Amino acid sequence: MTDNTAYGFHVDDLIYSAHPDPAWARKSWTSLDGVWKLEHRGRVKDITVPFPIGSEASGVDFRDSGTFIYRRTFSLPSYRADRSYLLRVGACDYETLVRVNGREVGRHTGGYASFSFDISAALAAGENSLELVVRDSHSPFQARGKQTPLRKAFFVWYEGISGLWQPIWIEETGRRYLERAETRVDFAARRVEVRAVPSPGSAEGLGLSVEVLSPSGGRRTFVSAQAGANSPAGPGGALTVSFGFDDFDSALWSEADPKLHALGLHLSQDGAELDSVESYFGLRDVKVDREGFRINGEKVYLRMVLDQGYYPGGVYAPRSYRQLEEDIAAIKAMGFNGARIHEKVESPYFHYLCDRLGLYTSFEMPSFYLPSRKAFRAYEGELRELVARDSVHPSCVMRMLFNETWGTWGMYRKSSGTRRFMLAMYDLAKFLDPTRPVIENSGWEHFKTDIADFHHYLKSAALAREVYAGIKAKDARLLYGFSLKAVLDFNFKDQVPTTTRSLFLEKGEDDDSLPLFLSEYGGFGWYHTDNKSAVIESIEEYTKDIVDSGIFCGYCYTQLCDVGAEVNGLFSFDRKPKVDLARLRAANQGRR
């Protein structure tokens, strides 16, 4: 590992002293985080990377739209012309063009997915120049999550961010290298398959070896068949290694016992090693049925808290990895076993911490706000990249593709292109990763989903109990448009909702076959409720009623921390507790 303070950059507890992506890491890497020059509309300032433009930690006060040009120079510690060098970017919002020594090496669109470019051909010995031209806007056609599509923050939409907001670094490898790999666990067959794709070139003589280090310390190595003229690599040039659970010292992963197996992937040609990548996997099976979630065959009741991933000083980026660990520790200490990451995609390092410390999470694509072909193309492209990047993480147990029909209002018409697009995205997510359940439209009307979820913010626990009792009694009125009405009308006016749009628009099977998940409730402190006593008393009563109703496979409380105008957090934005944490833990432990 390189000395990541080499550029005079120090932040808290050395956030960048560990590899930014433990699930796909090479030992020879050079951090490019630190102080860069940033040009915007003729003004040039120093910016601290990877904090987003406009954040306190970044040191610049530019607004979140326009063209931004990042510049810096760098020298590689041991440059060799016969090696390959990969520039890796954790995330950069929104359109990014990269030049090395004045030569364009690649472009990327999307504010959340990681990307990389082979910059070998543009490098020279000694000092090199690096330039990122980043364009961002308030466009409602790009996936932006809770970043306001207007000029100012409003209601539950916050000030936007732009530019680099995750680490940027260079990795050194051989002329041929592994571009990507996928680890799939087949519990029915009790086998693990590692499928790795090498960079372009001759397949003859290529081989892949996979070293597995188990939590117990046991070590085993498995080798692919060597490719040759008559035995080429598989589809897409992939090399595959497969081994059974009984072939190594296997151990299951769960939130309570998060055991991880380290992986070493080694690409060779004619016996000479070309590339080596470190990764890991967790043996964890997820299934859902009418009774809810089963993790490794055991029934699990999800007790989640909504986490929007905003941090003091850095907005989208924490000042240190310690902040991430403290948030995860606080969630577990409060008796929650999971976090719904809301309208944001977190960094690979955050997901690694959830894997290592044991916290169930959901993956949620950030919303766009106006449907169009441009929005659909950009969304699909980034969804594909993110599924490929994050499928390795055992902590992620479900995917949410859209939230409360934001940006997809045309889906109400069965013939609409928006509806066809949403159906296609559900099918795509299941095709790319069939191991996780998918919620196509969290909280509002469903038409193709593995889990029926809804949101409610009701002014009294009595109203909530009335709704639960009605659902349990199969009151048809409560299966039509429930979430739409409940979200639009917090006070609910003492009426059960009645609209004409079914919660299940196109299921084609008995609604009773789906598990029911209360994916948002609470929000106390942000809207009027009948309970004039402490927030913790409301949490205790509402949570007990949810569990006692017996109709849900889990719940998600809104929310972990105050963000913007939403002052309904269990903690303030600067992470000071606002409720009695011992009572909250007891409320969460009152589960089935």
pLDDT at 225: 64
Amino acid in the structure at residue 409: W
pLDDT at 524: 84
pLDDT at 526: 66
3-state secondary structure 114-138: CEEEECHHHCCCCEEEEEEEEEECC
Architecture of domain 15-173: Sandwich (2.60)
Q: Rounded to whole angstroms, how far apart are CA atoms 435 and 544?
A: 31
Q: Rounded to whole angstroms, how far apart are CA atoms 82 and 9?
A: 31
Q: Rounded to whole angstroms, how far apart are CA atoms 544 and 84?
A: 57
Indicate the pTM of the whole model: 0.90
Peptide bond before residue 85 is cis, with ω within 30 degrees of 0:
no
Q: Rounded to whole angstroms, how far apart are CA atoms 201 and 337?
A: 46
Q: Where are the domains of the chain?
A: 15-173, 178-281, 299-368+390-414+431-589
pLDDT at 476: 56
Nearest CA to 557 out of 545, 568, 565 is that of: 568
pLDDT at 507: 40
Mode of pairing for the β-strands spanning 66-75 and 34-40: antiparallel
pLDDT at 489: 34
Put residue 563 in one of left, alpha, beta given phi > 0 → left and psi -120 to 50 → alpha: beta
Q: How crowded is the C-beta side of 473, counted as CA atoms within 13 Å?
A: 9
pLDDT at 13: 35
Looking at 413-484, which runs of residues are DSSP E strands?
Answer: 438-439, 452-455
pLDDT at 474: 74
Architecture of domain 178-281: Sandwich (2.60)
The one-character DSSP state at 473 is: T
**Are residues 12 and 319 in contact, defined by beta-carbon separation less than 8 angstroms?**
yes
Give mean pLDDT in consecutive 10-residue pieces for the chain, a chain of 592 residues. Answer: 32 53 93 96 96 95 95 93 96 97 98 97 96 96 94 89 97 95 94 95 90 93 66 66 96 96 94 93 95 95 97 95 94 97 96 96 96 95 96 96 91 86 96 96 88 87 88 67 39 33 41 84 75 82 95 96 93 95 93 46
Q: How crowded is the C-beta side of 153, counted as CA atoms within 13 Å?
A: 13
Helix axes 373-390, 348-357, angle to 10 degrees: 40
Q: Rounded to whole angstroms, how far apart are CA atoms 72 and 32?
A: 9
- What the block records as the tokens of 580 is 């009695």
Mode of pairing for the β-strands spanning 191-198 and 239-244: antiparallel
Supply the DSSP string of 403-423, one letter for each residue.
BTTTT-GGGGSTT-HHHHHHH
Supply the DSSP string of 283-341, one letter for each residue.
B--EEEETTEEEETTEEE-EEEEEE---BTTTBTS-SSHHHHHHHHHHHHHTT--EEEE
The one-character DSSP state at 247 is: G
**Are residues 75 and 126 in contact, defined by beta-carbon separation less than 8 angstroms?**
yes
Architecture of domain 299-368+390-414+431-589: Alpha-Beta Barrel (3.20)
- What the block records as the tokens of 539 is 């949490």
Count of helices and strands (H, E) across the chain: 8, 30
Rounded-to-5 percentages of helix, strand, coil across the chain: 20, 35, 45
pLDDT at 531: 66
Mode of pairing for the β-strands spanning 438-439 and 178-186: unpaired
Per CATH, 178-281 and 299-368+390-414+431-589 having the same topology is answered no
Contacts of 65 (CB under 8 A, 6+ apart): 136, 137, 138, 160, 162
pLDDT at 533: 66
Kindly report the length of the chain: 592
Indicate the SS3 state at residue 558. strand
Mode of pairing for the β-strands spanning 43-49 and 34-40: antiparallel
pLDDT at 512: 62
Q: Rounded to whole angstroms, how far apart are CA atoms 159 and 349?
A: 24
Which residues on adjacent β-strands are paired with residue 84? 173
Report phi then psi at 411, rounded to 5: -65, -15
CA 107 to chain centre: 22
pLDDT at 457: 87
pLDDT at 505: 38
